[in-house]
Structure 1
Amino acid sequence: MSSEERSALHGHPVGPGDKRVVRPYGDTSGDGMVQISFTLPVPHTKRAEGAAVQLANKMGMDPAMLVHAKPIGDGFTFFVVYGRVNHLVDMAEVHVVERDYPLLGAKEVNAVVKQRLRRKLSVVGACIGTDAHTVGIDAILNVKGIAGEKGLEYYRELKVTNLGAQVSVPELVEAARLERADAVLVSQVVTQRDAHLHNTREMSAAFREAMPAGRRPLLIVGGPRFDETMTAELGVDRIFGRGTTPGEVASYLVHALITSRKQKA
């Protein structure tokens, strides 16, 4: 076992720059045990179970133990496999989007908007394309919010327009124009064939074509399958992933539209 692997087992920093190399934890520290789940397009048989274990082996899991198998329709089986992997994770090479703005309470958001913007901040939200899942956008916009935290409709200095589900991109652009939107929030849950990525690119292209840079609203997308590092590639200003709260979104709006612009000025 190398010195890096020994350090990983005990959680010690290794290498220059205080790198920390870690190994998955299952039953005991540093044992490398992980659990994965997947579906194969085969009926549930002993042969199908063998196929699941073979797939796990090819993914680097050795030994691989099948712990759950269940038919989920005609010709499909869902599997859960548990086993050991030898891969290490170098924490110094992990790149994520950290929150780079202060988290404000509702009273603080209202105060900043009222004092510095001197008008209500207009927000337009929707699920675009064929996506009919409004749980995400409603959790952020509706006054009832999520997990005890009020949505953006609760903020008296925010003017919120929720267009609902299955909104076309031209409809969204027109609504943003009519409402003089400062920000457009789009939720995408349906991800088959990367529909969320295609819809987001279509939306950002439509806004670039319809409005000059100085008059274009802040474009924000959210959903459980987005990569938060893809803002430039998708042509948006911010991506929020799973677990995002209304307070985080409201704080970002204040930071991006008011606070940071005042500092630059």
Structure 2
Amino acid sequence: MSSTEPTTGTVRPYGDTTGDGMVQLSFTLPLPLGPRAEGAALQLARRMGMDRPLLVHSKAVGGTDFSFFVVYGAVTHAVELSEVEVAERDYPLLSAKECDAAIDVRLGRPLVVLGACIGTDAHTVGIDAILNIKGFAGEKGLEYYKKMRVLNLGAQVAVGDLVRRARAERADAVLVSQAVTQRDAHLTNVRELSAELRAEFAEDERPLLVVGGPRFDASTAASLGADRIFGRGTTPGDVASYLVHALASEAAAVPAAVLEGVA
């Protein structure tokens, strides 16, 4: 968190002037486009706390049975910053060379990482950004790390198959990316995977379960049975540093003599 970022006080959305509360809201109603649907859209906006909402766009979608709306107006709500809870990073960020050195000192062997998209999820962009050597946001993926053995199993991997592969490969960590969220499929899949990992492995042998995706809430890791949840904007360095922190608990304190010349 930036040292200049405020942590107390009340904030409202900014549109034309500070604190005017102006927001833009878009949604779809299961009604054919017309005066009744437009009236329903405005009433919904008012009930959501929008003052004097304006209907700025409407369009029929899905044939004639649905309507899409964009509404603009001022919300009456405000947020007290002191009541906002965020998941702070509780481990240091390490370079690739520092991670390799830490793994070498604390584990004395390569750190084994399995990655996959599970269930029906075929969106591999996220898992590839973390694992593939080309990486993301100017950082090399985990395949670049000399002391990590990375296996990217790709898309639509069955939970049972992933658990069996984790056993066969003696995985230290299982990384799962989930982008398909219809009917909370991402939550169901993670809970199922967590349960099967715990059934297959003794607690002191179980690989870390690390989950990523744009619709996850980092604060729900424990309730889903995951060890860590990463959201939008996560880089390979974030994940690598966490794995080193969690799997080699003293890695962040590797003696300076070991790190000398690797930075």
Task: Identify whether the pair has TM-score above 0.5, normalized to the shorter chain.
Answer: yes
- Asked if 1 retains the 8 angstrom alpha-carbon contact of 2:178 and 2:212, the reply is yes
Is 1:53–2:42 an aligned residue pair?
Answer: yes
1:105-124 to 2 correspondences below 5 Å: 105-124=95-114
Equivalent residue letter for 2:14: Y
Aligned to 1:213, what secondary structure does the other structure show?
coil
Tell me the amino acid that sits aligned with residue 90 of structure 1.
Answer: E
> 2:103, 2:248 within 8 Å by CA — same for their partners in 1?
yes
Residue 149 of structure 2 aligns with an amino acid whose one-letter code is K
Which secondary structure state, in structure 1, belongs to the residue aligned with residue 46 of structure 2?
Answer: helix
Note if 1:238 corresponds to 2:228. Answer: yes
| Matching residue of 1:22 | 11
Q: How does 1:175-254 map to 2 (within 5 A)?
A: 175-254=165-244
- Over the aligned positions, Cα root-mean-square deviation in angstroms equals 1.8
In 1, Cα distance between equivalents of 2:81 and 2:126? 30
Counterparts of 2:60 and 2:175 in 1: how far apart (Å)?
Answer: 38
2:147 corresponds to 1:157: yes
Secondary structure of 2:25's aligned partner: strand
Matches within 5 A, 1:41-120: 41-74=30-63, 75-120=65-110
Distance in 2 between residues matched to 1:135 and 1:196, nearest whole Å: 16
Cα distance, 1:260 vs structure 2 = 4.7
* Alignment partners' CA distance in 1, 2:128 and 2:34: 42
Tell me the equivalent position of 1:8. none
How far apart are 1:261 and its partner, in Å? 7.8
SS at 1:239 equivalent: strand
Higher relative contact order (CA 8 A, sep 6+): 2
Question: In the comparison of the two structures, how many residue pairs are matched?
Answer: 247
Q: Residue in 2 aligned with 1:7?
A: none
User: Mean Cα displacement is larger for which, 90-99 or 35-44?
Assistant: 35-44
Give the residue type in structure 2 aligned to 1:26. Answer: G
Output the CA distance in 2 between the equivalents of 1:262 and 1:28. 46
Deviations 1:64-89 (A, max 9, x none): 11222233322233222111111111
Q: Distance in 2 between matches of 1:258 and 1:220?
A: 16
Q: List runs of 5+ in structure 2 lacking aligned partners.
A: 1-5, 254-263
Calculate the TM-score normalised by the size of structure 2. 0.88
Give per-residue Cα distances to partners, 1:143-172, cap 9 Å, x unaligned: 112233221111121110111111111101
SS in 2 for 1:253: helix
1:110 partner letter: D
Deviation at 1:111, TM superposition (A): 1.7
Choose which of 162, 168, 174 in structure 1 pairs with 2:164: 174
In structure 2, distance between residues paired with 1:250 and 1:151 = 9
Matches within 5 A, 1:250-261: 250-260=240-250
% identical aligned pairs:
67
What TM-score, normalized to structure 1?
A: 0.88
Aligned to 1:35: 24
